[in-house]
Each structure stands twice: as C-alpha cells, then as structure tokens.
Amino acid sequence: MKNGWDPDPTLDWLMTSGRLLPGPAELADALCERLVDAGAPLWRLRFAPRMANPLLRAWGVVWRRDEGAAQEYTVEHGANLTDAYIGSPFQYVIDKRLPFRRRLTDLDIEADHIALHDVARDGGTDFLALPMLFQDGLAQGISIATDRPSGFCDADIVAFERLSRYLTPVIEVMAAARSTGSLLKTYLGSDPAAAVLGGAVRRGDVRTMEAVVLMADLRGFTAKSLAWKADDLLQALSLYFEVVCEAVAGANGDVLKFIGDGVLAIFPVDGENGSDAASRDGLAACAHAHRRMQDVNNARRQVGQEPLDFVMSLHRGPVTYGNIGGADRLDFTVIGPAVNVASRLQGLCKSLGVFGLTTGSVAQHAPIDLPSRGRHDLPGIPDPVPIFEIPAGP
C-alpha cells in the first residue's frame, strides 16, 4: 500500500473472529489494536448508533490510543437538540449520508463546531466522519481522528472508508442486540430480561423461588385522578415510580411491573443472597424510597404542588416466577401466596395509618427490632399474621 499499511488482514479478521466478540468495547479495543499494529494513523475512534429505547437515544464507544481500554457511554433523548449535536460532524454524516473531513490545525473559532475544537485541543490533527447505513434505513456515524502531524493522506481515507463498509454490518448486529436487551430490561427488569434472553420465552416457562416481595401503592390516587389535570397526574406518577424504582434497583431488587399506581418488585433469595440479605435489601429499599420522597415533596411544596404519599409492604415466601399469559400475549411476573400477603398488607398500612408493614418472615432478619403491630386477619389468609411496622425514618 502506498501509505504503508494494508487494511485487508484487519478486514478479514473483522468478518471472522472479530464479529464474534461479546461487545462493542471489546470489538473497538481489538480492532484499533490491529489497525495501529498494521501502521494505520489512528489516534481516536468513535461510533454511536441509535438505540430503540424510551429512556435512551443512543449508546456509543470511544477509543483513544493513549487512554487504554475503550469506554462505553449512553446518550439521552434530547441530546440531538443541543449545541453539542447541532452542526456537528455526526449530524452532517447522519443527515446528508456523506463523509466529512476536516484538518484540525487551522480551525476557525466561529465557523467550526466545538466538537472539532475539542478533538484538536486533545491532540488531534485530522478528523474523518463516515456514515454507516443500517438496514432499517437510518444512517449512523463513525469518526476517526489522527494525531500524525501530516494528518491523513488520500490512501488513508480510502482505507478507512473500506473499513467503515465492513464494520457497518457488525455494528448493526451489536446495535440490534443492545436495543433488544435494553428494551427487555426497561419493560421487564434486569433478572427477567436476562431470563428471556437466556431462552425462557415459552408460555409456562416458570420456576418456583423464594423471594422478598415488595409492593408500593400511592395514597389517594383515585381522588387525584379525578381532581388533577392529566399532565399533572402523569408527572406525579412518574416522580413516584422513579423514586421507588431507584430505591429497589439500588438495593439489588427488580421491579417487575406497575399495576395502576402500584409497584411490584422482588428481592430473590438465592445462594449469594440469602434470607438475611434479601430482607435487609427490601427494608433498605423502603427506607431509601421514603427519604427520597421527602426530597421530592419538599421541592413540590416550594412550587405550590401537593405532596405525594405512598405506602410499602414486604413479605418473604415462595413465588412462581416466569412467563404466563395467552396464546399471543405473555407477561413476565410473579404470583403466589407471598404476593397475596404483601398486597393485603398495603390495605392494612392505610387503615393503620403507617408508611410500611411487613411480616415476621422479614422482620426476623431486620438489622434492628421492628415495632410489633400485633396479629391481624388478612383477607384470603387462613390464620392471623404477626405484623411489624417498617419505620418511616427521618
């Protein structure tokens, strides 16, 4: 090759063992290492395909020769409306589906996008962005920069354009897998998503497991739904769900579903997370949710909005966990007596006027003694159940 490096061995590797690597960061590391070893004037590589996800717009990988392993990152919705994207090389190649090339040694402070100035400031001398056309009709982008004083030569540009054509189908497959996994995690939760991706997809694919079941319920939701504007109600629900989901995820639990204004979550009891740990995690989630909601309510009061009040309940026991549903519509959920008990405790919270209640199955593993609220008859439960209060905390 006139420029002293030959892309063909790297392209052959990419189409064989390279495309089998487990993730985009591993792919970027191995690919860039091979390119540099082949003599390519590569200093920085970045790609950021779109993601089919209601919470995130895209995910990306950036590799730099002087920074070690490639780093993954995510892009939130709305980023395409910011100055960081508008007028950028990525917008150019995505909108126009054409390559973008700019030497970085003579940038104009007004005319050139801030992204180019950032790359130049870090040591880049020449910048190339190329479109990647996916099967769904969308264009994605990949950028390549060098720190070689002379920049890219014409043969470098030709070689990198060939690389992008070979790399596009590999990135497209990884992007599809990433979107699928992300969607499943968003709508099912981490553990159910892993189970479905692992093959537990048939109707009736269920297992019995021990778990601490958490249920949360917003107080006065029916009255609020009648009295509040729809936008105000949806905003309040989103805040409440965010508080509970954050608390559950932070305590190693999984939110399985939203039922109206209710939340159903579990903390599995297994070899690594026994009854003590699962019970403590459930109690920690309740405490975190209560503290976080206090912050939310303080902010709501400052703007004249009504505070949100909710209750939480915990019970440990066997549950049936997996896919149930009709012939063409499945739901990944848990059912069983433990879920029923946790649900009944919610109603008791409201009648006793307390934030949270649990049974002895969880209370016995609590790090502190929980106040007893006596034995209570629960609908559908044959014998009175010892009930303990979950402190609301400070």
The enclosing domain of 67 has a CATH number of 3.30.450.40
Let me know whether 47 and 97 are in one domain: yes
Let me know if residue 254 belongs to a domain. Answer: yes
Is residue 1 one of the residues assigned to a domain? no
The confidence score (pLDDT) of residue 321 equals 74
Question: pLDDT tens track of the chain, all 394 residues?
Answer: 455 689 999 999 999 999 999 888 999 999 999 999 999 999 999 998 876 666 667 788 999 998 889 998 888 778 788 888 899 999 999 999 999 999 999 999 999 999 999 999 999 999 999 999 988 888 889 999 999 999 999 999 999 999 999 999 998 888 887 777 766 666 666 666 666 666 656 666 677 888 999 999 988 887 888 888 888 888 889 999 999 999 999 998 988 888 888 999 999 887 665 778 999 999 999 999 999 999 999 999 999 988 999 999 999 998 887 777 776 666 677 788 889 899 999 889 888 989 999 999 999 988 888 999 999 988 888 888 999 999 876 5
Q: Is residue 343 part of a domain?
A: yes
Does the residue 2 lie in any domain?
no
Task: Provide the number of structural domains found in the chain.
Answer: 2
CATH of the domain at 334: 3.30.70.1230
Residue that finishes a domain, picked among 162, 187, 212: 187
Tens of pLDDT, residues 46-75: 998 876 666 667 788 999 998 889 998 888
The pLDDT tens digits for 230-250 are 888 888 899 999 999 999 999
CA nearest 277: which of 310, 246, 251, 242?
251
Residues 13 and 40 in one domain: yes
- Residue 235 shares a structural domain with residue 365: yes
Same-domain check for residues 256 and 302: yes
pLDDT in tens, 347-387: 898 889 899 999 999 999 888 889 999 999 888 888 889 99
Q: What is the pTM of this model?
A: 0.65
How far is residue 32's CA from residue 8's CA, in Å, rounded to a whole number? 14
Domain range spanning residue 213?
191-390
The helix-helix angle for 190-197 and 154-188 (nearest 10°) equals 110
